[in-house]
Amino acid sequence: MTKLTRADLLSLEAYAQQRGEFRARVLAHKKQRTVHLGEHLTLIFEDRLTVQYQVQEMLRIERIFEAAGIQEELDAYNPLIPDGHNLKATLMVEFPDEEQRRVELVRLRKIEHAIELTVEGHAAVVAIADEDMDRSNDEKTAAVHFLRFELDSAMIRDWHDGKPVTLASTLPAMPVKATLTSAQRDMLAADFS
């Protein structure tokens, strides 16, 4: 997938006019790219459209309209766009109760290094977490992480051929697993082009 440039973005005024429709389209798109791993882990697989939405929202919220500021946002978010041999995802550790979340983020320390993706017939791929910055410390994990799953050409070929794909947390404190639906598998297959 090609990275975003300033030419791909709407001006603040144009975005304000189109935001409702654009937001609804992106949210529907994100829903198809969302995988729930147990009750408390959610992965949203990013692509060019989801990243464009994040950039547009940041420009809107921060009222950024100068070229240098826009480029800073592009530089920050473009690394989340898959580049043809990987998938990139935002991992969210979700507990609605604030006190329980605090306790669980301690218990789930290092969860970001225990997320695996497996294409049937191949070894599991462990996610590479938070390449831009450490989000966790020695005491607790963060509630949000950015993950990258690197796949080789044989895995991608088997993915396109319809082999089952699973995601799992191998952390002993939260061992959970989910198999992608055929719709999710087909949606994410576009990230390999």
0.75 exceeded by pTM? yes
Per-residue pLDDT tens digits for 62-85 = 999 999 999 999 999 999 999 999
Neighbours of 45 (CB within 10 A): 22
pLDDT tier for residue 16 given thresholds of 50, 70 and 90: very high
Backbone phi and psi for residue 145, each to the nearest 5 degrees, phi listed first: -135, 155
Are the CB atoms for 135 and 142 separated by under 8 Å? yes
pLDDT above 70: residue 48: yes
Are the CB atoms for 52 and 4 separated by under 8 Å? yes
Q: Which of 153, 161, 154, 155 is nearest to 182 (CA)?
A: 161
Q: Which of 35, 34, 37 is nearest to 175 (CA)?
A: 37
Q: Could you report how far apart the first and last alpha carbons of the chain are, in Å? A: 7
pLDDT tier for residue 131 given thresholds of 50, 70 and 90: confident
- Concatenated DSSP letters of 42-53: EEEE--HHHHHH
The secondary structure of residue 90, as a DSSP letter, is E
- Give CA torsion, residues 122, 133, 188, 118, to 10 deg: 20
pLDDT above 90: residue 125: yes
Residues paired with 119 in a beta bridge: 165
In the chain, domain spans: 6-192
Over residues 28-37, mean pLDDT = 96
What is the distance between the alpha carbons of residues 151 and 165, in angstroms, rounded to a whole number? 12
pLDDT tier for residue 124 given thresholds of 50, 70 and 90: very high
